[in-house]
Structure 1
Amino acid sequence: MARRGEDSVAPMVLLESPGVCSKGLQRKGPSERRRLKAMVSEQLSQDLLRLLREEVHTDVTFSIGCTLFKAHKAVLLARVPDFCFHTVGHTNNLTNHEPVAVENFEASEFRIFLQIVYSSNRNIKNYEEEILRKKIVESGAPQKKCDFSVGKCTDNDGRSSVGKRSSDHSFMKHEIPEDNNKEDIPEDNNKEDNLISTDIYDLEPASELGEDLLKLYVKQCCPDIDIYVDGKSFKAHRAILSARSSYFAAMLSGCWAESSQEYITLQGISHVEMNVLIHFIYGGTLDFPDKANVGHILNMADMYGLEGLKEVAIYILRRDYCNFFQKPVPRRLASILECLIIAHSVGVESLFADCMKWIVKHFARFWSERSFANVPPEIQKSCLNMLIQSLVSIT
């Protein structure tokens, strides 16, 4: 699929709210969602495991004998906060690469531990407690509790943000941490920032790994870069951005000027779209908020190298616009045509082909629709040619 520039314009939205047929969803919806969730979850796991192996943007080094292990404090805080507290402590100097000695571990054992931390899609809290009990507490180290477990973290500026840690699998609005530093935020931006950060907290992360990383982002723990979009700031982590997006990996490497800056500014993307992108980067979220434009997000996912987000967008188009290509739903045929236009504009050939086949199959229902008259002429011609070919093959 060809990349599109930042000035590319996604297709105009023809409908305000595509219809969904409940019977069709009951037949095909759950299996499609399970497939999508498994794919996004596996991709998130592999991206984080590659981040560990490639040692990109590491900020903490562990030593076991003569063996060194480079890691990322943000990932450790997200997944094993108590272990991070016991070994690394409160220090937040991201440029400090002095090795942290870890006792009672064999090098091979610690390597497996890190691999589980970075790649396990399951809740690893019990695993962390077992490691702490066997390797830390029983060795005589004092037993402490990490502040992160109750939602208190410190960012680059030494400021804290407080929130509660929930075991729920979704991010509901009541989980949003209170900001103790509202005096540092301009009053005119405060209300808008809250609106931006609350509109998709009820979306499902792909896995426990995604949930942990998303909490890290929401609570703004140890961010090391600001992303400015539409005048709004998104505090993020270079390592996670680079692991998940080929665009950010290139931008934050040594080849771009932004690699040495503490902030980057993105053009051609709205704050709503950026909110969707960054929540997917961290959590692998499987839905979009109601006000999100699926066509625009599909275009952005292509540009930023987020293959998994493209799959989520295609799934939403198939579900909400095409009803998984079940039987035609009265007065909702126009949504199939809208999906056809989006797929053609962004270049999703498989989705475009499925839309074409379904339209040709039910062409008698489409040709008299006013919305079909609004379809670009070249697409209309393609539909007619395919219809003629299907009739010829029958005869």
Structure 2
Amino acid sequence: MAGCGEGGAAPVVPLGSPGVCTKGLQRKGPCERRRLKAVVSEQLSQDLLRLLREEIHTDVTFCVGSTLFKAHKAVLLARVPDFYFHTIGQTSDNLTNLEPIAVENFEASEFRKFLQIVYSSNRSLKNYEEEILRKKIVERGVPQKRYDFSFGKCTDNDGRSSVEFLDKKSSPCSLLKHEVPEDISDGEDNLISTDNCDLDPASELGEDLLKLYVKHYCPDIDIYVDGKSFKAHRAILSARSSYFAAMLSGCWAESSQEYITLQGINHVEMNVMMHFIYGGTLDFPDKANVGQILNMADMYGLEGLKEVAIYILRRDYCNFFQKPVPRRLASVLECLIIAHTVGVDSLFADCMKWIVKHFARFWSERSFANVPSEIQKSCLNMLIQSLTGISISHMRKENQRSKCFIQVHNVYSK
């Protein structure tokens, strides 16, 4: 386990190194994960819904009667590709961002609800999209075509190939959870693999949006980090991160540039952040430095990513504060240092309480001696405070634990 970094930097702590799983972890782990997944999923839905309502970086306009609706091609392509083909895909070659696309057979209120569902629903939209197409598109005499999201082509009901859906420079539409952009898939720098990390998007919405990032669909900005390029979408970045919202809003010089360069993070941390922005993923790869990701999440205004990092520390380093198990003591101390360095007060307090509760074991740990002196003093002060009102005679009955407590009490009472 790594120690605390210098100059206030988060300690370098590789993920997945602490001790083993216990029955307590098996009971509490799934419950905590479900809670976190629900929180991250709801946050992703609300962010995308706000993106639609506030018309942030829109690039397509629909006309329903006399009502105009602004939206985002990338989101529509990811969530309702057949609808995209029947509306935008057939006219995109001769369409500018300012020309509205007429949508027939819809009332304005119906189309508004349709867009809200597309942007915020946490479920698969396949059946809903088919129903909409059947009622609204086919009934006006347009031959029904399916968009094959695996090969980037449109096929009719007999499966015969039709026109190319995207331009020739576009990537194929097939996406696997564990695929990585070509720029960062070289050798040992490969971030995501089935051996490293089982990506778990927060919802169907997250899984659909993650396709846009992993396969470079309709990107409108390049981000350079650590010498590597990450293709992204201004709208989604702005909806998910307050930092990117400010950077790309027009107040910064970067808002008008086709690419930006970020400093202070490496490509592994950047890809963790991008997977969370698009998919709300709930895991990190083994290489990830959890402390650095906490710092990064705070800087970029990603509260949900902070919650995921804290969850991983509680799970992998603290065993959700169950009973002590072999090799777990040192990892709890590592978590204590990270929480103190990054400033996660709630996690720091939980670590302190658990250490005080099991202080007899920590007192003799060599790793405790390596904890910064200010944190040691905080632990011992909390220990002494916990002794208030407890009789020495009662504590003598607790064998090793009482001997340790009495020793510390005598030393710090002088």
| TM-score > 0.5, shorter chain as reference | yes
Q: In the alignment, what sits opposite 1:283?
A: 279
Identical-residue share of aligned pairs (%) = 81
2:376 is the alignment partner of 1:380: yes
User: Does the CA-based 8 Å contact 2:153-2:165 persist in structure 1?
Assistant: no
1:16-55 correspondence to structure 2 within 5 Å: 17-55=17-55
For 1:78, the equivalent position in structure 2 comes to 78
Matched-pair contact (CA < 8 Å) for 2:294–2:309: yes
**Counterpart pick for 2:361 among 344, 361, 365:** 365
1:274-304 alpha-carbon deviations (Å, 9 max, x no partner): 0100000000001101111111111111111
One-letter amino acid of the structure 1 residue matched with residue 363 of structure 2: W
**Structure 1 residue ranges, 4+ long, deviating more than 6 angstroms after superposition:** 152-157
Which among 163, 186, 194 is matched to residue 191 of structure 1? 186
Bigger-Rg structure (1/2): 2
1:251 and 2:261 aligned: no
SS of the residue corresponding to residue 300 of structure 1 reads helix
Tell me, yes or no, if the aligned pair for 1:156 and 1:222 is still in contact at 8 Å: no
Distance 1:393 1:109, change over 3 A: farther
2:216 maps to 1:220:
yes
TM-score scaled by structure 1?
A: 0.89
1:217 is displaced (CA, Å) by 1.4
Per the alignment, residue 322 of structure 1 pairs with 318
**5 Å matches for 1:90-129?**
91=92, 96-129=97-130
CA distance in 2, matches of 1:38, 1:351: 20
C-alpha separation in 2, matches of 1:119 and 1:211: 13
For residues 156-305 of structure 1, the aligned pairs below 5 Å read: 159-165=169-175, 171-173=177-179, 191=186, 195-196=190-191, 198=193, 202-305=198-301
TM-score (norm 2): 0.85
Instruction: Judge conservation of contact 2:105–2:136 (CA < 8 Å) in 1.
Output: yes
Conservation of the 8 A alpha-carbon contact between 2:317 and 2:335: yes
Q: How many residue pairs were aligned?
A: 374
Rounded Cα–Cα distance in structure 2 between residues aligned with 1:193 and 1:235: 21
Instruction: Give 2:250's aligned amino acid.
Output: G
Distance 1:136 1:321, change over 3 A: same
For the structure 1 residues 190 and 27, does the alpha-carbon distance in structure 2 shift closer, same or farther, using more than 3 Å as the test? closer
Separation (CA, whole Å) in 2 of partners of 1:11 and 1:95: 50
Equivalent residues of 1:155, 1:223 under 8 A apart: no
Gaps of 5+ in 2: 1-6, 155-163, 392-414
CA–CA distance in structure 2, aligned partners of residues 110 and 234 of structure 1? 33
Partner SS state of residue 229, structure 2 = strand
SS in 1 for 2:146: coil
Q: Equivalents in 1 of 2:192, 2:385: separation in Å? A: 50
Counterparts of residues 324-339 of structure 1 (less than 5 Å): 324-339=320-335
How big is each residue's C-alpha offset from its partner over 1:235-287, in whole Å with a ceiling of 9 and x where there is no partner?
A: 00000000000111011111000000000100000000001000000000011
Amino acid at match of 2:88: V
8 Å Cα contact 1:155-1:222 kept in structure 2: no
1:130 correspondence with 2:126: no
Q: Do the aligned partners of residues 109 and 393 (structure 1) sit closer, same or farther apart at CA in structure 2, a change above 3 Å counting?
A: farther
Structure 1 CA distance for aligned equivalents of residues 254 and 123 of structure 2: 35
Q: Describe the shift of the 1:203–1:393 C-alpha distance in structure 2 as closer, same or farther (beyond 3 A).
A: farther
Question: Could you tell me how far apart the structure 2 residues matched to 1:42 and 1:117 are?
Answer: 14
CA–CA distance in structure 1, aligned partners of residues 83 and 238 of structure 2? 25
Shift of 1:12: 3.6
Q: Secondary structure at the match of 1:360?
A: helix
RMSD: 2.5
Aligned equivalents of 2:49, 2:324: Cα separation in 1: 44
